[in-house]
Amino acid sequence: METSPRTALVAGASGLVGGALLDTLLEDARYREVHSLGRRPLPHQHPKLVQHTVDFTRLDTQALPAAQDAFCALGTTLKKAGSQAAFRAVDHDYVLAFAHAARHAGAQRFVLVSALGANARSRIFYNRVKGEAEDALGAVGFESLVIVQPSLLLGAREEPQPAEQVMGAVSRVLAPLLRPLAARPIEGRTVARAMVTLAWRDAPGTRVVHSGELHALGA
């Protein structure tokens, strides 16, 4: 297993999991440099952080810095996207564009935040798009591909949704009853810690990690 300091690429650091992931990587001494890719700058300053403002529709024209690990937390909602086509552009097309660019930059490990229930054959549009993105990543050529599938995410969002706030409050109350179940809610920072742990396991091939296991890995 590689033990020397690594360089990481992160896409989607403005979101709940992505923000926690960026903080986790910056605090981790095993990473000497962290490059964040986004459509706008983040209010972050850190000696290890390099920010890149990018257009994900033209990412193939932008050379990324060399890195060993790539973490993808890109994602939106149908309501925020405004249409199914716009949602697919972010949760499928941007994810694949980042993956190809990261692989071209030398990344050997790719860790994606997907969703519990993702399935390319699902009748539910959201789950189907997530599943199609997962399947397409398998052809990019990473030595290690890790797909994490969290359930309902808890934590402070940049743009909180009223329905999610209600569901989050209810879930916190019911959490003790749901502990034996893989579908119990999970904190965004727990998912982030689990992603970094999985990146350092260096397991070759593709691995899908469900929410129940993420609780243990990110504790």
Q: What average pLDDT is seen over the chain?
A: 89
For 144-162, b where at least 16 C-beta lie within 10 A, e where not — what string?
bbbbbbbbbbbbeeeeeee
Question: How many CA within 13 A on the CB side of residue 122?
Answer: 16
Model confidence pLDDT, tens digit, residues 109-154: 999 999 999 999 999 999 999 999 999 999 999 999 999 999 999 9
pLDDT of residue 184: 81
Which range, of 104-108, 132-136, 174-178, 205-209, averages the lowest pLDDT?
A: 174-178
Single-letter code of the amino acid located at 96 = L
Residue 3 has pLDDT above 80, yes or no: no
Residue 191 has pLDDT above 70, yes or no: yes
pLDDT of residue 170: 38
Single-letter code of the amino acid located at 83 = S
Please, which residues have CB within 8 angstroms of residue 129's CB and are 6 or more apart in sequence? 87, 88, 91, 92
CA 161 to CA 37: how far, in whole Å?
A: 24
pLDDT of residue 2: 61
Rounded (5°) CA angle 50-52-54: 165
Residue 169 has pLDDT above 60, yes or no: no
Model confidence pLDDT, tens digit, residues 13-63: 999 999 999 999 999 999 999 999 999 999 989 999 999 999 999 998 888
pLDDT of residue 62: 85
Higher pLDDT, 211 or 61: 211
| Domains in the chain: ranges and CATH | 6-217 (3.40.50.720)
pLDDT of residue 172: 43
Q: In Å, how far from its chain's centre is CA 164? A: 19
Contact 96, 137 (CB under 8 A): yes
Residue 1 has pLDDT above 90, yes or no: no
* 138 backbone dihedrals φ, ψ, rounded to 5°: -65, -20
The reported pTM is 0.89
| Residue 163's pLDDT band (cuts 50, 70, 90) | very low
